[in-house]
């Protein structure tokens, strides 16, 4: 099945959305992008997810991130559903703070490898899975996660991942298991001991039975 690998350029597709027609790269401008697909409008899990995204918009904006969603429903369906999404988020507006793509012919869903073969609409056509793509300002794919229709996403985890991606893009560190922004990081294996002492003067080396000093921790730079 077609799809994207990490580092691939995200397609500059022309899309029809609740906020007009445009190309994805134009929508991104020089920002990061979180691209989310959902199986269908007016479905329970999707409503909780896209409602949660509304509430988290200020957190995404702090990180220079724009949001866009997609399903195989049409624009009219999306517009009708927006009232439910805003109600779920406790938002009085009738406008959605981010666009939803109408991918009725499933062209973009197939191109991005987002089709869920086990979930079908009333006509027997496959629906989109719950995909998350994170795209950097250089338009390259930095992360992808694919959930089945029965499992809702955790967007606090998406924010955590964005914090890690933005940090490690510019600093010679990695983020360990369960890392949270501001927590201890790890010095990359490609950084020599001499360079580590210069870049991370407060780093520490954890002892392991192998005696190999590869577990190097440092305060977040």
Residue 24's domain is classified under what CATH number? 3.40.30.10
Print the SS3 string covering 65-129: EEEEEEECCCHHHHHHHHHHHHHHHCCCCCCCCCCEEECCCCHHHHHCCCEEEEEECCCCCEEEC
Question: Which long-range contacts does 106-109 make (Cβ < 8 Å, 24+ apart)?
Answer: 106/72, 108/11, 108/13, 108/15, 108/70, 109/37, 109/70, 109/72
Alpha-carbon span 212 to 52, nearest angstrom: 44
What is the token pair recorded at 64? 């220079």
Stretch 206-215: mean pLDDT = 95
User: Is residue 69 located within the same domain as residue 139?
Assistant: yes
In percent, the amount of the chain with pLDDT more than 70 equals 97
Cα gap 9→204, rounded to integer Å: 37
Q: Report yes or no on 25 lying in a domain.
A: yes
What integer is the mean pLDDT of 199-203? 97
The answer to whether residues 58 and 102 belong to one domain is: yes
pLDDT of 175 higher than 80: yes
Angstrom distance (rounded) from CA 160 to CA 93: 28
Confidence at residue 181, expressed as pLDDT on a 0 to 100 scale:
97
CATH number at residue 190: 3.30.1020.10
Q: Give me the pLDDT at residue 115, please.
A: 82
Domain count along the chain:
2
- 143 with 210, same domain: the answer is no
Instruction: Give the C-alpha separation, 15 to 189, whole Å.
Output: 41
**Across residues 13-28, what is the average pLDDT?**
98
pLDDT computed for residue 122 by the predictor: 66
Same domain, 136 and 198: no
**Unique residue bearing structure tokens 């924010």:** 159
Domain identity same for 82 and 191: no
Task: Decide: helix, strand or coil at residue 155.
Answer: helix
**Mean pLDDT throughout 67-82?**
95
Any bridge partners for residue 216, and if so which?
A: 205
Would you place residue 129 in the very low, low, confident or very high pLDDT band (cuts 50, 70, 90)?
confident
34 found inside a domain:
yes
**Residue 93 domain flag:** yes
pLDDT for 23 beyond 50: yes
Q: How confident is the model at residue 1 (pLDDT cuts 50, 70, 90)?
A: very low
Tell me, yes or no, whether 200 and 145 share the same domain.
Answer: no
Is residue 161 a part of any domain in this protein? Answer: no
- Among 153, 184, 203, the domain boundary falls at 153
Question: Quick check: is 37 in a domain?
Answer: yes
62: in domain: yes
Query: What is the set of active-site residues?
Result: 46, 138
The whole-number pLDDT of residue 221 equals: 96
Global pTM value: 0.92
Residue-range definition of the domain harbouring residue 211: 171-218
Domain assignment present for residue 2? The answer is no
Residue range 55-73, pLDDT digits in tens: 999 999 999 999 999 999 9
């Amino acid at each position: 099945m077609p799809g994207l690998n990490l580092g691939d350029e995200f397609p500059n597709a022309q899309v029809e959305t609740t906020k007009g027609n445009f190309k994805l790269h134009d929508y991104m401008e020089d920002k990061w992008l979180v691209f989310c697909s959902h199986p269908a409008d007016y479905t329970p899990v999707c409503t909780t997810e896209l409602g949660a995204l509304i509430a988290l918009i200020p957190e995404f904006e702090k990180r220079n991130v724009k949001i866009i969603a997609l399903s195989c429903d049409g624009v009219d369906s999306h517009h009708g559903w927006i009232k439910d999404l805003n109600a779920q988020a406790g938002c009085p507006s009738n406008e959605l703070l981010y666009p939803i793509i109408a991918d009725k012919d499933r062209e973009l869903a197939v191109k991005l490898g987002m089709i869920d073969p086990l979930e079908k609409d009333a006509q027997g056509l496959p629906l989109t899975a719950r995909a998350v793509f994170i795209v950097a300002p250089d338009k390259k794919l930095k992360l992808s996660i694919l959930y089945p229709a029965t499992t809702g996403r955790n967007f606090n985890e998406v924010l955590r991942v964005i914090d890690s991606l933005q940090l490690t893009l510019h600093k010679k560190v990695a983020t360990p298991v369960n890392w949270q922004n501001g927590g201890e990081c790890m010095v990359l294996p490609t950084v020599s001991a001499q360079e580590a002492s210069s870049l991370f003067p407060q780093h520490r080396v954890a002892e392991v039975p192998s005696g190999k000093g590869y577990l190097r921790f440092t305060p977040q730079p």
